[in-house]
Structure 1
Amino acid sequence: MLGKQLFFLLIIIGFKFATGQPNELDSLKTVVNLMPEDSLKCETYLRIADLLYSGEESEWYANKALRLSKNLNSPRLIGRSYHRLAWCHGLDEMDKKTAYLDSATIRFTSIADNYGLGSVYDTKGTILMAYGSISEALKAYQQAYDFYSKIPDSERQAGVLNNWAIAEYTGGNTKEALYKFQKALDYRITEKPISHIDIARLYQGLGECHRINGDMEMAATNYLKGYEHRNAVENIGVVESMLSLASLIYEAAERKMDTLAIVGLVNDYGFVSSLHLIESAEKTRGIADRIGMKNAIMDVRRQRNILNKDFKAAYEILLKQKQLQEEYKLSESSLEAMADMKVKFEKDQLKIKLLEEEVVNQKSQDRMTMLLFSLGALLLIAIIGLLYYQNRVKTGQLKLNEAHREQQIVSMRSMLEGQEKERSRIARDLHDGLGNLLSTLKVNIGSLQINFDDKNSKKIYGSASQMIDEACIEVRKIAHEMMPQALKKLGLRKALEDLVLKMDAIHEFDAEFHVHGKERIFDDSTNVMLFRIVQEALNNIVRYAKAKEVSVQITYSEDWFDLTIEDDGIGFDPNALDTDKGMGLKSIAFRTEFIKGTYDLTSRPGVGTLVTINIPLNNIPEA
Structure 2
Amino acid sequence: MMSSNQIKWLILAIPTLTIGIWEYLRHSILLPHISMELGNWLSPLIIFLVTITVVSPLFRAYENLQQELKQERESTQLMAERERIARELHDGIAQTLFLSSVQVEKLKAVSPNEEWKELQHSLYHIQEYVRRSIHTLKTENQIALSAQMQACIEQFQLDTGIAIDYRSDFQDSHFSQKEGWEIAACTNEALTNIRKHANATDVSISLASTSSTWTLCITDNGVGFDENLINTPNSFGLRIMRERAEECGARFSFSHLNKKTTVRISKGEQ
TM-score normalised by structure 2 residue count: 0.49
TM-score if structure 1 supplies the norm length?
0.23
Higher relative CO (Cα under 8 Å, sequence separation at least 6) belongs to 2
Q: Determine which structure has more spread, i.e. the larger CA radius of gyration.
A: 1
Bigger helix fraction: 1
Structure in which a larger fraction of residues adopt strand: 2
